[in-house]
Amino acid sequence: MTPFSWEAGLFPLGVSMVLGGTALYKFKKSQSRTGSSPVVLCHSALLCLWGACCFSSFSVFWGWTLFSLACCISLAYSTSQEMLPVDGKAVLITGGDSGIGHALSKYLDELGFTVFVGVLNEKGPGAVALKESCSKRTSVFQMDITKPAQIKEVQAQIAEKVQHEGLWAVINNAGILGTAGDGELLPINIYRQCMDVNFLGAVEVTKAFLPLLRKSRGRIINISSMAGIVPMKQYAAYCSSKAALTMFSGVLRLELKKWGIKVAIIHPSAFRTNIGGTREIWEKQEKEVLENMSPDVLEAYGRDYLRSSTWPFLQFFSKGPTDFSPLFTDVLHGILCKNPSALYTAGVFSYLWICLFSFFPASVFDYVSNKIFRSFSLPKALT
């Protein structure tokens, strides 16, 4: 009997059947908690395709051997993707007044989490709606993340509630878009506002709650933006602050591994929220920019350039999808997955834009970006 005979392939056959069946079962069981049935089907299809390739290209022995190896790898991956039980795990979400933070707070409350929500205005309509609609597991706190005293006060209250169990996850969601406009036109205070909220605020919150995360060996989920990797015209301040948050998350992931704390960054595309503001807010911001513009810059750009160039970009945020489920699926995976991903790209085209910027020549990215986000007007000196 040679090692390539059919009898010699019975052992790999048995191994592959056991490992393959176990892998698919564990993967399906873990993914079913997040409702990712397409992922299960794709995983199963790839495994079957690999098996067919092995059997058609190699001898019986090597075909079953390679297929068994694929099953082993699949089993290891599916094990790392197992979802932990909710079991009333406590999570903190910042920026719960409206938009993603508000909807995410309700979503996690419905799943059975103990939810602590930081809001900018504890008496505002968003905070009141959370108190009325969520269960008793959800608590709302006044927490302006640009004010360290409020963060410290909330940390003390949460520490009293969770005690020795610690806090399972911190979700840094709070953020602002800031004023839109060419980078040269934006006053320096706009850059500072974006950095204070989008970056330094998240740093303050993370540092304050890390002692509670160490107790639970929990998670940090930072909701950044596609603009944290991909440059976008008219948003120099916003992009810069989100890029800082992205790099901070990467460094934390490396440093906190020794404590058993996992860090994930999420780069959503443009979902429809109120972050873009209203026409009244745009007019106020436009007035502020014009008042702070030096005479020579004002002469070069002209008074009409700001509105004609920036308002179409601001209206872009009113056309985004309102279904947050892709983002919520990624957040939930980051919170509960045994081995969460370091990077999530939620929403339409987010990953494609990042790939275009990361792997193609800059000239290609610039061409595509300028075609899609074309300028609607030119500065006065260029007309």
Instruction: Give yes or no: residues 40 and 125 share one domain.
Output: no
Instruction: Give yes or no: residues 24 and 132 share one domain.
Output: no
* Residue 382 lies inside a defined structural domain of this protein: no
Instruction: Give yes or no: residues 285 and 148 share one domain.
Output: yes
Look up the pTM and report it. 0.80
* Residue 1 lies inside a defined structural domain of this protein: no
Instruction: Give yes or no: residues 56 and 121 share one domain.
Output: no
Contact yes or no for 173/264 (Cβ under 8 A): no
Higher-pLDDT residue of 140 and 303 is 140
Structural domain tally of the chain? 2
Instruction: Give yes or no: residues 234 and 286 share one domain.
Output: yes
* Residue 2 lies inside a defined structural domain of this protein: no
Residue after which a domain boundary falls, among 80, 101, 131:
80
Instruction: Give yes or no: residues 122 and 200 share one domain.
Output: yes
- Residue 128 confidence (pLDDT) above 80: yes
User: What domain range includes position 64?
Assistant: 7-80
* Residue 383 lies inside a defined structural domain of this protein: no
- Rounded-to-integer distance, Cα 291 and Cα 308, Å: 17
Instruction: Give yes or no: residues 218 and 339 share one domain.
Output: yes
Instruction: Give yes or no: residues 66 and 184 share one domain.
Output: no
- Rounded-to-integer distance, Cα 251 and Cα 245, Å: 10
* CB within 8 Å of 57: residues ≥ 6 apart: 63
Among this protein's residues, is 238 annotated catalytic?
yes
Annotated catalytic residue within 107, 191, 235, 238: 238
Strand order across the beta sheet in which 138-142 lies: 138-142, 114-119, 90-94, 169-172, 219-223, 262-266, 343-344
Confidence of residue 286 (pLDDT cuts 50, 70, 90): confident
pLDDT tens per residue across span 76-123 = 555 557 899 999 899 999 999 999 999 999 999 999 999 999 999 999
pLDDT tens per residue across span 294-349 = 999 989 988 888 877 777 766 666 677 778 889 999 999 999 999 999 999 988 77
Instruction: Give yes or no: residues 63 and 126 share one domain.
Output: no
Contact yes or no for 232/189 (Cβ under 8 A): no
Instruction: Give yes or no: residues 30 and 156 share one domain.
Output: no
Residue after which a domain boundary falls, among 80, 108, 123:
80
- Rounded-to-integer distance, Cα 118 and Cα 268, Å: 21
The proportion of the chain whose per-residue pLDDT surpasses 70, expressed as a percent, equals: 77
pLDDT tens per residue across span 230-269 = 998 889 999 999 999 999 999 999 999 999 999 999 999 8
Residue after which a domain boundary falls, among 38, 56, 80:
80
